[in-house]
Amino acid sequence: MQTSEANSRIGVDTQISMLATHALQIALTALWYHWGIRPDMIVGHSMGELAAAYAAGAINLEQAVQLAHARLQCVGRVQGPQSLTLAGDTEAVQAIATTVEQNGTFCRMLNVDVPFHGLPLRERDAEFTRISPEVRVAVPSIPYVSTVTGRGLDVPLDKSYWLRNFEESVYFRDAISCIIDAGCTHFVELGPHPVLN
């Protein structure tokens, strides 16, 4: 993390960047809890849902780390009303990006090893199921909102849930709407830099 940007693998090696972000989210959560700061509700975005489930008390630290490792071994989501990530064939996505840019809308290609939340991950279902841990889910001590469903947690956080988290669209906007509807008015993003605002 102290390597110069020119020599860093954080931005080009998905496994390193995702595991570093996961570790940072868990560490920041522990620090805030140590200071006595606890949220009224919790939501996580994509892989951040693992740290969120841990922060809510739904899974333990060992399970969060093992699930993150399994996900990265296997290595288009909807972000919000004005943000969208597409995953798929590089030429098709590039053609869409060109059209979007010509229309004056900001876009950029993400430098990732694997298109998370895209159809290419379906072929890794069996591998993820084989290497991911059995998940012993606890009742969350803090209300937890799922970005797999976009609602309050109403499904078990078992292997099939984390497989859906890995492959399917991220319903972050719906999850945030759920939290707003519950009366929350202030949000804190835990990560290396703000990306979801």
7 domain residue, yes or no: no
Type of residue numbered 76? G
CA–CA separation, 29 and 35 (whole Å): 10
85 domain residue, yes or no: yes
33 domain residue, yes or no: yes
**Residue the block writes with tokens 């006595």:** 36
Query: For 29-54, how does the pLDDT look when each residue is reduced to its tens digit (9 = 90+)?
Result: 999 999 999 999 999 988 889 999 99
114 domain residue, yes or no: yes
72 domain residue, yes or no: yes
Task: Pull the structure tokens for residue 160.
Answer: 């099939």
Three-state SS at 50 = helix
Q: Give CA 144 to chain center in angstroms.
A: 14
Judge if pTM exceeds 0.95: no
106 domain residue, yes or no: yes
Provide the residue range defining the domain that includes 128: 14-181
Which CATH number do you get for residue 68?
3.40.366.10
- Which residue stretches of 56-158 are H helix? 61-74, 90-102, 125-131
Query: For 132-174, how does the pLDDT look when each residue is reduced to its tens digit (9 = 90+)?
Result: 778 888 889 999 999 999 999 888 888 888 888 887 888 999 9
Q: State yes or no: pLDDT of 77 exceeds 50.
A: no
Count of domains observed in the chain: 1
Cβ atoms 46, 116 nearer than 8 A: yes
Measured in degrees and rounded to the nearest 5, phi and psi for residue 26 equal: -65, -40
